[in-house]
Amino acid sequence: MKYVVALLAGVMPMVPAVILFVNRRRKPEELARKTVLGLSALNLVILFAMVGLVMAGLAVPDLAEASGLYQAPTPSGPDPLAAIGAGIAVGVGALGAGIAVGNVGSAAVGAIAEKPEIFGRVLIFVGLAEGVAIYGLIIAFIILG
């Protein structure tokens, strides 16, 4: 199961490029709109899956422990300040990424409206802005590790 998740995580960044390649004949504005809506729907599906896993772990902890989804606390106990620090790293990283994607995305839509052939380059800039959230997640793993 963890290999499937790792494979999907590795393939996710390639989704916009594949959509762009498959739909070369469509208008870039229409393609950008459909790509954003599709990825938003995918994010909602992942959100509901994660919320379901958390609720299952809270509702039936014995079953979650038996399935290997539950991490038992160590004898000394987890460091609560490390968990708070990791949460802050992820939260601030996601907040910064949201602000960056909002600014870059609005500029990108304006640039695509004037010059549709720069769609691929603009998509790279939006992806770079999203990388800020990944950096926060990496820092959280370092703190917890």
Q: What is the 3-state secondary structure (H, E, C) of 92-105?
A: HHHHHHHHHHHHHH
Q: What is the pLDDT of residues 74-132, one digit of tens each?
A: 666 567 788 888 888 888 888 888 888 888 888 888 898 899 898 888 888 888 888 88
What Cα–Cα distance (Å) separates residue 101 from each residue in 11, 19, 40? 21, 20, 13
Domain chopping of the chain, boundaries: 1-72, 73-145
Q: What percent of the chain has pLDDT over 70?
A: 72
pTM of the model as a whole: 0.48
Q: Is 68 left (phi over 0), alpha (psi -120 to 50) or beta?
A: left
Between CA 43 and CA 40 the distance in angstroms is: 5
- Annotation: CATH topology of 73-145: F1FO ATP Synthase (1.20.20)
Residue 143 tokens, joined: 């703190």
